[in-house]
Amino acid sequence: MTAPALDVFQVIADPSRRQMLHLLSNESMTINALAENFDMSRPAVSKHIKIMYNAGFISITDIGRERYCTLKQDGFNELQDFINYFDKFWTSKLKKLETILNNKAGK
Amino acid sequence: MTAPALDVFQVIADPSRRQMLHLLSNESMTINALAENFDMSRPAVSKHIKIMYNAGFISITDIGRERYCTLKQDGFNELQDFINYFDKFWTSKLKKLETILNNKAGK
DNA sequence: ATAATGAGTAACTTTTAGGTTACGTAAAGT
DNA sequence: ACTTTACGTAACCTAAAAGTTACTCATTAT
């Protein structure tokens, strides 16, 4: 179960990973603690964690034999950039519409 | 090449589809016009369009034998919701940090 | 009327993400 | 010292996404 290197968009494409991110938004958790919330084997969870780590969504701190996973902002920023681009598209489109309407009102 | 029903996260997981959305942010385009920008067959593009249409990212207007694809906001809104959730997480985390720093400064 | 064009559908192949079990290793418990 | 626990890694399997070619249909052009 070697983890493939996925980009941020592929990371959040998986429902289980999105769920893990939600769980981690409440508290830092170990691999096993996370695995208890899912109907899949621990190695499967382990792989997901690695994928999210590689894409910059989480940081990992080893404490003894445990690995604590914590949310990290980097991965989310890339997503934000994507959304922002299209956000600008909609708002500028809206402004154009406003301009047209104002011109009509003015005449 | 029947198109599978994918959710908004799976839609933007594909680089070609993200590229198509970018192209459509400049102007509405037909299937063929889109296909010219990609190193893949027209049926392949056609399938991507169907997937994005089903997920609410584009609307389609038939003019004669041509299909004009236009960006639609619905799909993006779902993504925005996801981002917003974690955005709140980061800002509230930052506020907690501020509170701690202020308390220290006050003593 | 016939040819050419724009696009959807069907059948098929390939790739790969996501899961499994089996095993190895280091830290903690008894 | 031995056992248990927490995790990673390897080898493997399966399902499905993404691509292809071949075909058909409807619209436009000649």
Q: Which nucleotide is nearest to A60 (CA to C1')?
A: D7
Q: Which of A19, A22, A21 is nearest to A59 (CA)?
A: A21
| A5-to-A55, A56, A105, B13, B26 alpha-carbon distances in Å | 8, 11, 55, 13, 31
pLDDT of residue A79: 95
Please report whether residue A3 resides in a domain. no
Q: Name the residue among A10, A21, A83 with its Cβ closest to that of B79.
A: A83
Total domain count, chain B = 1
Sequential pLDDT tens for chain A (107 residues) = 678 889 999 999 999 999 999 999 999 999 999 999 999 999 999 999 999 999 999 999 999 999 999 999 999 999 999 999 999 998 988 888 889 998 887 65
What's at B86, amino acid-wise?
Answer: F
Residue B19 lies in a domain: yes
Distance (Å) from CA A60 to C1' C29? Answer: 25
Could you give the CA distance from residue B76 to residue B12 in angstroms, rounded to a whole number?
10
Torsion over CA: A63, A68, A71, A72 (sign): positive
In a domain? residue A102: yes
B23: distance to nearest CA of chain A, Å? Answer: 11
Q: Enumerate chain A positions whose Cβ falls within 8 A of a Cβ in B.
A: 9-10, 12-13, 18, 21-22, 25, 71, 73, 76, 79-80, 82-83, 85-87, 89-90
CB within 8 Å of A53: residues ≥ 6 apart = A59, A60, A69
Q: Which nucleotide is nearest to A44 (CA to C1')?
A: C19
Residues of B in contact with A89 (CB under 8 A): 25, 71
For position B20, which CATH number holds?
1.10.10.10
B83 → closest Cβ in A25, A83, A90: A83
The nucleotides of chain D lying under 7 Å from a protein CB are: 5-12, 16-22, 26-28
pLDDT at B14 over 80: yes
CB nearest B9 (choices: A13, A83, A89): A13
Asked whether residue A71 is domain-assigned, the answer is yes
- pLDDT above 90: residue B96: no
Residue B1 lies in a domain: no
The answer to whether position A57 is within a domain reads yes
Model pLDDT for residues B53-73, shown as the tens digit of each residue: 999 999 999 999 999 999 999
**Residue A2 located in a structural domain:** no
pLDDT value at residue A5? 85
Tokens matching residue B51? 């997937």
Residues of the domain holding A101: 8-106
Q: Is residue B58 part of a domain?
A: yes
